[in-house]
Amino acid sequence: MIESLRQDFKQLYGNDNTRVFFAPGRINLIGEHTDYNGGHVFPCAISFGTYAVARKREDDRIRLYSKNFKNLGMVEFTINNLSFIKAHDWANYPKGVLSVFKQNGYNIDSGFDVLFYGNIPNGAGLSSSASIELVTSVMLNELFELNVEMISMVKMSQKAENEFIGVNCGVMDQFAIGMGKEGYAILLDCSTLAYRYSKIDLKDASLVIANTNKRRGLADSKYNERRNECERALSQLQQKLDIKSLGELTEETFEANKHFITDETDRKRAKHAVYENQRTLKAVDALEKGDIELFGKLMDASHISLRDDYEVTGKELDTLVELAWKQKGTIGARMTGAGFGGCTVSIVKNDYIDAFIENVGRQYAQKVGYEASFYVASIGDGAKEIQQ
Ligand code: GLA
């Protein structure tokens, strides 16, 4: 695949002195909508991702092309013209990252040509956008020998998404994609960015991703509305409690103080944020003790909370998860990512995976009217240059 991408680059730009970079997508195992609430998340990088074949230029031109958006053709601009242009569509992601690097004073002194190719299903909630941001970051870092640490690239990528693209996401996706490690998930405290790797040993079971194939765009989803609801709840609690985020609360403190949140909806949102954060800590503890069954039960509880209290699931995700729960061999199942469509993640015993895909797939199509897609996930490394 790498070789054929290099060939594509040569055909397009007429040069073969290229370097190749990769950034994965991510799934979150548990800890949903907790990152911007100062809580914990437990994501991992997957083996699907975004490739960038690139070469520096002598002049100040930048040319970007994506094999995934052939109809949009080549996007061209110059290094001192980095404004958001709607017609540039997907290319605003790499442009945004470049713009943040420049704002931070990194010396990017020439243009470059890039060919992108991604095999993450777009809009599936597996973070294709953070993936293209991180592959761009790593590419800039290597091509221009900038010596930036991964954690800074994670933050700059998130900043590009927040300020250039205008999506107010938390840090989870960029962090998982930058810092991922084969075979491990990451327990990340989003309030301090303290983290540790935790080995994912599911014994005789695997992670199965199911895509609802309902398209969702974070930008036009209710994501920002949820953030506002949580902020409102927090500020009412802060009149009584000395806290900086909902992530600081235990279930008990929340229950004792929740009446200070006057709006019932805001109260439900805050409840999810508090309980989900505690659930994440319990789940990682269970997994590290080898108790996969308990981890699975906490995944189920996470979905129920996202469905009933946070209200970010919807018919498609609920159908997939509820069908998954009924299958023999399912240890746990939940939605993953922002919600409102996108993917679910299930832990399924290996002997039952074929039947799982067959049964859930058939019944989903009957109920929803179109097909879901299934992948057995393998946990891969974070963003990096691919050495030849
Ligand atoms: C999206 C955002 C993340 C996080 C999740 C929900 O993936 O990009 O920052 O908030 O939703 O957990």
3-state secondary structure of 158: helix
Ligand 1 close to Cβ of residue 318 (< 6 A)? no
Q: Measure 101 CA to ligand 1 centroid, in angstroms.
A: 23
Question: Does the beta carbon of 165 sit less than 6 angstroms from any atom of ligand 1?
Answer: no
pLDDT of residue 217 exceeding 70: no
Residue 78: pLDDT over 50: yes
pLDDT tier, 16 (very low <50, low <70, confident <90, very high otherwise): confident
Distant-in-sequence contacts of 349-356, Cβ < 8 A, 24+ apart: 349/204, 349/205, 350/204, 350/205, 350/206, 351/204, 352/327, 352/328, 353/206, 353/208, 353/329, 355/327, 355/328, 355/329, 356/208, 356/324, 356/327, 356/329, 356/330
Ligand 1 atom with the shortest distance to the CA of 167: 8
What distance in Å separates the CA atoms of residue 168 and residue 158, rounded to the nearest whole number? 9
Q: What is the largest CA-CA distance in the chain?
A: 67
Residue 169 Cβ < 6 Å to ligand 1: yes
Q: How confident is the model at residue 367 (pLDDT cuts 50, 70, 90)?
A: very high
The pLDDT of residue 112 is above 80: yes
- Segment 307-332 shows an average pLDDT of 97
**Cα-flanking dihedrals φ and ψ of residue 309, to 5°?**
-100, -40
- Which of 193, 271, 194 has the alpha carbon at shortest distance from 234? 271
pLDDT at residue number 124: 86
The atom number, within ligand 1, closest to the CA of 35 reads 10
Return the ligand 1 atom nearest residue 170 CA.
Answer: 9
Strand-strand pairing, 43-56 and 112-118: antiparallel
Average pLDDT over residues 15-39: 96
Convert the pLDDT of each residue in 230-257 to its tens digit. 999 999 999 999 999 999 999 999 999 9
Report, as an integer, the average pLDDT of 70-81: 96
Does residue 220 have a pLDDT over 70? no
Instruction: Dig out the tokens for 148 from the structure.
Output: 């930036």
Residue with tokens 């594509």: 8
189 touches ligand 1 (CB under 6 Å):
no
Burial 167-177 (b: 16+ CB within 10 A, else e): bebbbbbbbbb
Give 216's pLDDT tier (boundaries 50, 70, 90). Answer: low
Residue 149 has pLDDT above 80, yes or no: yes
pLDDT, averaged across the chain: 96
Q: In sequence order, what E strands does the chain have?
A: 19-28, 40-41, 43-56, 61-66, 75-78, 112-118, 184-189, 194-199, 205-211, 330-336, 343-349, 373-376, 384-386
- For residue 38 and ligand 1, the question of a CB distance below 6 A is answered with no
CA of 336 from ligand 1 middle (Å) equals 9
Express as a percent the part of the chain with pLDDT over 90: 95
Section 261-267 average pLDDT? 98
**Quick check: CB of 270 below 6 Å from ligand 1?**
no
Å from CA of 349 to ligand 1 middle: 28
Which of 35, 113, 173, 266 is the catalytic position? 173
* Ligand 1 close to Cβ of residue 36 (< 6 A): yes
The Cα–Cα gap between 120 and 136 comes to 16
What is the structure's pLDDT at 122?
74
Judged against a pLDDT cut of 50, whether residue 90 lies above it is answered with yes
Place of tokens 């895909």: 357
CA of 386 to the centre of ligand 1 (A): 27
pLDDT one-digit tens code per residue, 339-348? 999 999 999 9
Tokens of 13: 């730009």
pLDDT tens digits for range 200-212: 999 999 999 999 9
- Any atom of ligand 1 within 6 Å of the Cβ of 33: yes
Residue 219's pLDDT is 42
| d(C-alpha 170, C-alpha 41), whole Å | 11
In 109-212, which ranges are E strands?
A: 112-118, 184-189, 194-199, 205-211
The ligand 1 atom nearest the CA atom of 218:
1
C-alpha 194 – ligand 1 centre gap (Å): 18
Secondary structure class of 143 (helix, strand, coil): helix
Q: Does the beta carbon of 310 sit less than 6 angstroms from any atom of ligand 1?
A: no
Look up the CATH architecture of domain 2-198+381-386. 2-Layer Sandwich (3.30)
Ligand 1 pocket test, pick from 127, 173, 226, 228 with the greatest ligand atom count within 8 Å of Cβ, gives 173
Question: Known catalytic residue: 173?
Answer: yes
Task: Answer yes or no: are the C-beta atoms of 227 and 35 closer than 8 Å.
Answer: no
Tell me, in angstroms, the distance from the centre of ligand 1 to residue 311's CA: 14
